[in-house]
Structure 1
Amino acid sequence: MDNFTADMGNAITREAIKSAVISEIKSNSPIARSSDFWYNVSQELEKDHNIARNGANIEKVCRALRANDDTLPDPREYIIEVLQDHEAAALAARQALDAQRETLQYDSIETANDPTVRIARQPLALLEQQETEQKAAKEAKEKDDSSSNNLAYRR
Structure 2
Amino acid sequence: MRFSPVLLLALFFPSLLHAFCIYNDSENVTLFLRQNVKNRGAIFSKTFQVDGLKPSEKACCAYTNYDCNKSGKPEEYVSIYTGAKWDGGHVSDFQIGIPAGGWAVFTGKSELFKIQAYYANGEPADFKLEKRPDSYALY
Same fold, TM-score > 0.5, yes or no = no
Which structure ranks higher in relative contact order (CA pairs < 8 Å, sequence separation ≥ 6)? Answer: 2
Which has the larger share of strand?
A: 2
TM-score of the two chains, using structure 2 as the length reference: 0.23
TM-score of the two chains, using structure 1 as the length reference: 0.21
Which has the larger share of helix?
A: 1
| Higher Rg | 1
